Amino acid sequence: MIKLIATDIDGTILRWGLDFTPALQVCIKDLTQRGIKVVLVTGRMHCAAMPVARKLELNTPIISYQGGLIKDFNNNTLYQKNLDEKYAIEVINWARKNKIHINLYLDDKLYVEEDNEIVKAYTDGKFVDYTVCNFDDLEIKNVNKILAIDLHNPDKVTGWVNELKQKYPQLFIVKSTPYFCEIGNGEAKKSLGLKFLCDMWGINQDEVLTIGDQDNDIDLVQAGGIGVAMGNGTPQLKECADFITDTVENDGFVKAVEKFVFQHQQK
């Protein structure tokens, strides 16, 4: 019996640039009424995930920064795996040398060195404020992650991922959308954040359904007793999943829950 659903946000329960479908909201409410825990597991900042949780009336801890931070609904930090200062500075210098835009996250705050179309597009609709400054003026400590962005060339982003993975095998580096290269602590993984909560609650792997849509959800999907890929998911994620559901536009999350949870549980 499924006791916990760990779900990505963007492209999984939230339509890109839009909102939740009515069916999704009803489904989440039904799950919580049945006593099934729903946990948001996202690459977003914690402060950008909180409005999502509030809208869905969830009060479970949120796994943010790809698994680098877990905070409960009272803002207490339960789990944290920051990017080492040394590596953060090296990545900043790499980005400057190659004229790559990066978002720098310190203590759940977003910093950029240039106020451009990239950061404006990134923050649009996400309830995120940001500070423009020279990174040399910051104390590079408590780094949640670094995000390298190119809005126009996904192949370039793939190249960054391959280059940085080779240079920093000890870090967690992943392409989280076609345009995002995420750089974080080697233990900042969605699967490890999920394991922390499962251990805390005494929930077994076979009692967990996991669901996502991008390559950064691969380890999450593999960590569930039932791992589900969205119909709009990447080919690599679909290869790892136990089941491929419909797209986010067609309520793929809801259909997966109906198949693996509601059909096997009496109210």
Whether residues 260 and 207 fall in one domain:
yes
Q: Tell whether the model's pLDDT for residue 4 goes beyond 50.
A: yes
**How many domains, the chain?**
2
pLDDT tens-digit map of 13-41: 998 766 899 999 999 999 999 999 999 99
In a shared domain, residues 72 and 95: no
Encode pLDDT of 71-117 as tens digits. 999 999 999 999 999 999 999 999 999 999 999 999 999 999 999 99
Grade residue 189 by pLDDT with cuts at 50, 70 and 90: very high
Same domain, 154 and 67: no
Indicate which CATH number applies to the domain containing 140. 3.30.1240.10
- The verdict on 97 and 180 lying in the same domain is yes
- The per-residue pLDDT for 126 is 74
**Residue 193 DSSP class:** H
48 and 180 both lie in a single domain: no
Same domain, 95 and 178: yes
Last residue of one domain, picked from the residues 184, 216, 231? 184
Nearest to 49 by CA among 40, 60, 39: 40
Cβ contact 233:245 at 8 Å:
no
Q: Is this prediction's pTM over 0.85?
A: yes
**101 and 224 together in one domain:** no
Element (H, E) at 178: none
69 and 120 part of one domain? no
Same domain as 175, residue 90:
yes
Q: Which amino acid is at 259?
A: K
**58-89: buried (b, 16+ CB within 10 Å) or exposed (e) per residue?**
bebbbbbbbbbbbbeeeeeeebebbbeeebbe
Same domain, 66 and 42: yes
Same domain, 97 and 170: yes
Domain that holds residue 9: 4-80+188-264
Q: State phi, psi for 138 to the nearest 5 degrees.
A: -100, 150
Same domain, 51 and 37: yes
Place of tokens 């944290």: 80
